[in-house]
Structure 1
Amino acid sequence: MPALLLALVPLIALAVDRWLGEPPARWHPVVWMGAWLQACAPHVAPQEAGPRSHARMLPFVAGAMAWCLGAAMVALLALALQTALWRWLPAWSAVLVLGLLLKPLLAWRLLREEVQGVEAALAQSTAAGRAQLARLVSRNVTPLSATEVRESALESLAENLNDSVVAPLFWFAVAGLPGAALYRFANTADAMWGYRGARDGRVWEWAGKWAAHADDALSWLPARITALLLALAARRWPRGLRREAARTPSPNSGWPMAAMALLLDVRLAKPGVYALHADGGAAAPSHVPHAIALAGRAAWAAGLLCAAAVFVRPGVLP
């Protein structure tokens, strides 16, 4: 198949995302992944009030095995679909369908609309902003001020730019549809299982450790690429990026968040955990459209880089 035609796949996915947004939940592969992970939870994580014997080893092994089983199913299904397209459809049809299959593994339009929704809700009241923010983040939003709500939304925009756009495109360039699908499974598992303590009555400290470290490994390079793409979108380098990125507990999320803080010249903080660019100004309403514009340019730059990588290495889509 012509390399130029294959290179259109990530651009088709981004274009469909821009025009149509997310598919219905019943047809969404990430929703299916989440449902499978939720069904596994009772068999993986012990109840918070239950006995604590073997509190480390058994939950860790169960979590690792469940993760590997789910990852294998997702990757093999994606590989089967990708292979079937090349065998059964004309080249142009296969490329179009593959772009449609890649689209649900990307979520730039949804991310943009959610962040815009937080700002629109803040214009009504701080309480409304908190309620909207709760759709984006897992932290307790109750004590947050209006400025802290906005900071959290900007942090989520930067972090999820990697998780929902750049990293899936990176792994698509590396390993085709199976690579992108495997990454989204890993990222979803980390979001649902990767907690240090208890959540929803179950202890995830060890049950979710494999999922957390797997996501860290798969996100390591894409997170740094995301920071670079944000810098390119702003046409300047965020000085002190490495130092600021190291302030977060995560080895990866600090990179895009620190880049966003430095490029906007605002302070982004999680109370009691970290403060990025602590000398920056307070996040204001005008910073939100600026941040969205930077992230949008970075998202399309990621699509173009992915297309270029596929063009150079068309064998990644056998």
Structure 2
Amino acid sequence: MEVFGPLSAPVIPLALLLALALDRALGEPPARWHPVVAMGHYLGFMGRRVAPRVGAPPRPARAFIGGALAWGLGALGVLALAVALNRLVAGWALGAQALALGALLKPLLSWRMLRDEVAAVEGALGESLAAGRARLAWLVSRDVTTLDASQVRESAIESLAENLNDSVVAPLFWFALAGLPGAALYRFANTADAMWGYRGERQGRDWTWAGKWAARADDALSWLPARLTALLLSPLRLWPALAGEAARTSSPNSGWPMAAMALALGVRLRKPGVYALNADGRAPEAADTRRALRRAGRALAGLVALALLWAWFEWSPWT
């Protein structure tokens, strides 16, 4: 960790716990102060300049290089700011270091909002199918207008599993390994993938080449956390089946936590016409959404336990 400033030994696990406590107590900060929102503004501005309009003459090399350079410039800015903040607090007292880093880490993860949004879909489904579809549209980018109640529930549980990795486990994983710069770079890469990582048209622009670097960067940074999330979600006896189920999706990473959740709950999770995870499982019911939320919470607790254990071995005076 000295490369980012000589932090006191226990500060990383303490900051991690404080960030989760702040998330539980306060939720998301206002948009004007939110670093991920700022990343989105930058990516939106640059995206309009690197992705050609649909119907424009194809220039794949230009689009790819432009997207890669714009991604790199943004990543460099995020890293520079995070390293500066890391170095700023490095000389402070232990408690002040942990408080500052916990507060800076909090906006880079989002467990409370994810949990509440998934629960809200189930609550809306209890009112009507139309209400459930409308609430799900806040959570996923797919077309929800033709989904039945079972498919709405499947989509919500899938989103919980996938975003447990993207919005919680992966930022904490990279924070544990590389401090604030690691978590900040991951959130930039994941946000860039969400906005640019498309294989074709989105909002009138062609992202086939302009978003390819962003997609591959997110794939690389999510590879280990996605598998860790899957292992935390799934009982040991189900691990041998994980890889085969995860391979049913086209993504190298998102299939892992989704497949783990499907196997652990004993339900099928599908994207109609694209994939079916644990296809022989039953259709999920309202109780399964609650079970999925509890299982995700236990997975997060398991991650915290691993971080504390790793910290003890890393910094124990007896090792």
> Paired residue for 1:167?
170
Deviations along 1:237-294, one digit per CA (max 9) or x if unpaired, are 3551111000000000001000000010001000110000000000110101100000
Is 1:85 matched up with 2:89?
yes
Deviations along 1:37-67, one digit per CA (max 9) or x if unpaired, are 0111111100113x2231x111111110000
Of residues 148-157 and 298-307 in structure 1, the stretch that sits farther from structure 2 once superposed is: 298-307
Matches within 5 A, 1:1-318: 2-49=8-55, 51-54=56-59, 56-87=60-91, 89-231=92-234, 234=235, 236-313=237-314
Q: Aligned letter for 1:242?
A: A
Q: Aligned letter for 2:300?
A: A
Q: Contact between 1:48 and 1:202, CA under 8 Å: does it hold in 2?
A: yes
Shift of 1:20: 1.2
The CA RMSD measured in Å over matched residues stands at 1.4
Provide the rounded CA distance (Å) in 2 between the counterparts of 1:130 and 1:242: 31
More contact order relative to length (CA 8 Å, sep ≥ 6)? 1
Provide the rounded CA distance (Å) in 1 between the counterparts of 2:36 and 2:308: 23
Q: Aligned letter for 2:229?
A: T
Shift of 1:236: 4.8
Provide the rounded CA distance (Å) in 2 between the counterparts of 1:21 and 1:304: 22
Provide the rounded CA distance (Å) in 2 between the counterparts of 1:253 and 1:83: 34
Provide the rounded CA distance (Å) in 1 between the counterparts of 2:239 and 2:284: 17
Provide the rounded CA distance (Å) in 2 between the counterparts of 1:216 and 1:235: 25
> Any idea what SS the aligned residue of 1:280 has?
coil
Q: Aligned letter for 2:63?
A: P
Shift of 1:205: 0.9
> Any idea what SS the aligned residue of 1:269 has?
strand
- TM-score, with length taken from structure 2: 0.93
Provide the rounded CA distance (Å) in 2 between the counterparts of 1:8 and 1:91: 9
Provide the rounded CA distance (Å) in 2 between the counterparts of 1:307 and 1:253: 26
Provide the rounded CA distance (Å) in 2 between the counterparts of 1:126 and 1:299: 31
Provide the rounded CA distance (Å) in 1 between the counterparts of 2:166 and 2:140: 13
Deviations along 1:176-209, one digit per CA (max 9) or x if unpaired, are 1000000000000000000111011111111110
Where do 5+ consecutive residues of structure 2 fail to align? 1-6
Shift of 1:303: 2.3
CA distance 1:252–1:215, change in 2 (3 Å): same
Shift of 1:126: 1.3
How many aligned positions are there? 309
Q: Contact between 1:22 and 1:104, CA under 8 Å: does it hold in 2?
A: yes
> Any idea what SS the aligned residue of 2:10 has?
helix
CA distance 1:5–1:194, change in 2 (3 Å): closer
- TM-score, with length taken from structure 1: 0.94
Q: Contact between 2:12 and 2:179, CA under 8 Å: does it hold in 1?
A: no
Q: Aligned letter for 1:11?
A: L
Provide the rounded CA distance (Å) in 1 between the counterparts of 2:156 and 2:162: 10
Q: Contact between 1:11 and 1:307, CA under 8 Å: does it hold in 2?
A: no
Provide the rounded CA distance (Å) in 2 between the counterparts of 1:236 and 1:286: 23
CA distance 1:147–1:238, change in 2 (3 Å): farther
Provide the rounded CA distance (Å) in 1 between the counterparts of 2:58 and 2:117: 42
Shift of 1:18: 1.1
Q: Aligned letter for 1:105?
A: L
Where do 5+ consecutive residues of structure 1 fail to align? none
